[in-house]
Chain A
Amino acid sequence: MIAPSLLLTIAGLGALAGAMRRHATQIGLPPASSPLLRLVGCLLLTASLIALLDRMSWRMATIAWVGQGGMAAALCVVALAVKPRALPVLCLLAGAVGLALLACHS
């Protein structure tokens, strides 16, 4: 499914951004949360790839996943540049809606 996959990618990349010291200070996150955020980010990105697999072949899913990763990262970059503190809200929302959609589907 495309929509939950994209939402999970946004949440996952946002978590990875939050795990970086520079952006953690921007957002106001304690540096101690980095390892956890990094793990959550990787899990969400894996989940977003798996979410694509039920709609398309693994080849097509890989292409879409790489492409949407770039676009989702661009969204995080814009959020960090314009309003850094909005990024956690955006990512929590995207992650929650994405997971909810996945749960409804399966």
Chain B
Amino acid sequence: MKAGFRPSMAWLHSWAGLVIGWLLFAIAITGTASVFKNEISDWMRPEVTARAATVDALAAAFATLQRTNPHAANWYLYAPDDRSGATIASYDTTGPDGEVSYKLEALDPVTGRPDNIRQTLGGEFFYRFHFELELPYPWGRILASFAGMVMLIALLSGIVTHRRIFADFFTLRAGKGKRSWLDAHNVLGVLPLPFHLMISFTGVLTLISLTFPWAMVATYGSDTARAFAELTPGYYSRPRADRPAPLGNVRAMLADAQHRFGGRRIGSASIDNPGDAGALLRVTQHDGDQIAYAPRALAYDAVTGQLLSAYSEARPAKKLYDTLYGLHMGKFGAPYVRWLYFLCGLALSATILTGLILWTISRPRGTSFGHRLVERLTIGVAGGMLPAVAAFFLANRLLPVAIAGRADKEVWAFFGAWAVAILFGLARPPRRGWAGIFIASALTWAALPFVSWWAIGVPREPIGGAVDLLSIVFALVSFAVLRRLARNGRERASAAI
């Protein structure tokens, strides 16, 4: 720790940023990709081309589940919308050995069946990684939460350290070495600062009951069921009656729900205890129709069709929380707002990356093992993310559609490519390491549209075109960075002579 407020803050900023920087970068990049979670899922399931009205799609999916999985405790469906065509089903299955497992499956919106749709996690992979980090519950979430808190600390201490926020607002001096990196770090951090602060704060808030459970423990003790019931009264539930009873007219109930929601859409629907007299249909309004994330919910007796509960949030504190949660998720509003989220997310990722690079170039080069490690880790962990994401998308197009464990193999492609990038970055001198990463990135992203055209044909939907276009942009940016690296290398070589 240094004497004085600002030096202390600068110390805190650089060390907090360093310790958690790589993890934060991975969280920021996957969070940015999650902005287009539904679109990515749609792109990764090219077999789903049919479109159906929400009520029809949900009714078809429930009809199929009734045939294929009548003994599940619960069927949960996400309705298709303007952003994604497939109905997403989640339910429990009991294997031959009596072991219960949960299944996430994309269903055709017209037939309600999963046939011929390639297995993939789609955008869900980025979303899950963003806050679970592929670690077992609850460790991934706790680590992600902790990273979010450090992000907030880094932002606040960064504001204090920077101090010339407004004087340097538009300042970017190019071609001046460390000065330029610092300017870039400042500009990327300051211009979307409201977004950075909002997304870090609300991100920490989404998992607050996990990281700061004491208020809840003090009020409810170990009675988590009561805590949950009071937190979300809209989540009506009832026990099994242990008497078999056929489902009533689910379609009519869904149509009634749609009618009650008025102009707003149905977002999800679930049936508890299907086939039992205690069967319950729950219908929730779409997340994208308002900023707050906990919209109205209805519950029906799924046998008789009687409406049991209709809830919309009116408590100010909970509404505030839902609004902050919704701000983090960014599901509301026009595509324009989502693009702004995406661009601001890229800016945040770039702020973290330039911060990591600044840490290395602010200290004498290659003096210690620690310095070399930081310098080289950044290459693979942060830079390697670019080819790794491309590898994930390429695997989606190249793996045979019917192969077993397909969704997992796509994820392996991501982690395999990332691991190779990290090892490569550690093994090579930094300049060559960066060059290698950007060669891999330029090649994989440039290949993606062509591989996709070869595998499934030229895109007819706008989303396919958008992915092809973005791939080419990423490839061109990688190529531009590569040329810049080569030029710097030549200048350095001629300066040495």
**A in complex with B:** yes
**B341 engages A67 (CB within 8 Å):** yes
A74 touches B334 (CB 8 A): no
Contact B191 A70 (CB under 8 A): yes
**Pick the contact of B347 from A2, A74, A81, A82 — CB < 8 Å?**
A74
| Proximity string of chain B (236-277) to chain A, C-beta cutoff 8 Å, 1 when within and 0 when not | 000000000000000000000000000000000000000000
* Given A59-B291, A77-B187, A64-B336 contact (CB < 8 Å): yes
In the complex the two chains form, is B327's CB within 8 Å of A81's CB? no
Say yes or no: is B414 at the interface (Cβ < 8 Å to chain A).
Answer: no
A24 to B332, CA, bound (A): 39
Asked if B195 is at the interface (CB within 8 A of a chain A CB), the reply is yes
Within 8 A of A (CB), among B304-362: 327, 332-334, 336-337, 340-341, 343-344, 347
Q: Report whether A22 and B191 are in contact in the complex, using a CB–CB cutoff of 8 Å.
A: no
A71 contacts B by Cβ under 8 Å:
yes
Residues of B within 8 A of A23 (CB): 170
Q: 1/0 per residue A1-18: CB within 8 Å of B?
A: 010000000000000010
B291 touches A80 (CB 8 A): no
Give the distance in Å from the alpha carbon of A50 to the alpha carbon of B454 in the complex: 47
- The one of B169, B172, B192, B332 in contact with A67, judged by C-beta atoms closer than 8 angstroms, is B192
Tell me the A32-48 residues at the B interface (CB within 8 Å): none
**Could you tell me if B336 and A2 are in contact, using CB atoms closer than 8 angstroms?**
yes
Contact size range, A: 20 to 34
A78 and B169 in contact, given A64-B340, A66-B194 (Cβ under 8 angstroms): no
Name the A residues within 8 Å of B193 (CB-CB). 70
Of listed A17, A70, A81, residue having the most chain B CB within 10 A: A70
CB neighbours (8 Å) of A73 from chain B are: 169-170, 191
A94 within 8 A of B: no
Interface residues of chain A: helix, strand, loop or mixed (majority): helix
Determine the distance from Cα of A18 to Cα of B173 in the docked complex, in whole angstroms: 16
The complex places the Cα of A22 from the Cα of B173 at a distance, in Å, of 12
Residues A70 and B170 in contact, CB atoms below 8 Å apart:
no
List residues of chain B with CB within 8 A of the CB of A81.
Answer: 172-174
Pairwise interchain contact B333-A70, C-beta atoms closer than 8 A:
no
The answer to whether A78 touches B170, judged by C-beta atoms less than 8 angstroms apart, is: no
A67 vs B335: C-alpha distance when bound (angstroms): 13
B 153-206 contacts with A by CB, 8 A: 167, 169-174, 187, 191-195
> A residues within 8 A CB of B333?
56, 60, 63-64
A67 and B337 contacting across the interface, CB-CB below 8 Å: yes
Q: Give the CA-CA distance A57 to B466 in the complex, in Å.
A: 28
The answer to whether residues A77 and B191 also contact, given A60-B337, A64-B336, A70-B344 and a CB cut-off of 8 A, is yes
- Assembly CA distance A63 to B331 (angstroms): 13
B319 smallest CB distance to A (angstroms): 12
Q: Mark A60-92, 1 if CB is under 8 A from B, else 0.
A: 100110111111011011101110000000000
Q: Which residues of A sit under 8 angstroms from B174, Cβ to Cβ?
A: 81-82
B337-A74 in contact (CB<8A): no
Inter-chain contact A64/B337, CB cutoff 8 Å: yes
Contact of A77 among B167, B170, B334 (CB under 8 A): B170
Kindly provide the distance from the CB of A43 to the nearest chain B CB, expressed in whole angstroms.
19
Q: List 14 A-B contacts (CB under 8 A).
A: A20-B167, A20-B170, A60-B291, A63-B291, A63-B337, A67-B343, A67-B344, A70-B193, A70-B347, A71-B191, A71-B192, A77-B172, A77-B187, A82-B174
Residue numbers in A under 8 Å from B194 (CB-CB) = 66, 70
Report Cα–Cα, A73/B192, bound state, in Å.
Answer: 9
Inter-chain CA distance A56–B340, complex, in Å, is 15
In the complex the two chains form, is B170's CB within 8 Å of A17's CB? yes
Query: Which residue of chain A has the shortest Cβ distance to B171 in the bound complex?
Result: A22
Residue of chain A at shortest CB distance from B292: A59
Residues in B with CB closer than 8 Å to A78 are 172
A93 to chain B, nearest CB (A): 18
- List, in ascending order, chain B residues with CB within 8 A of A67's CB: 192, 195, 337, 340-341, 343-344
> A67's closest neighbor in chain B, by CB?
B340
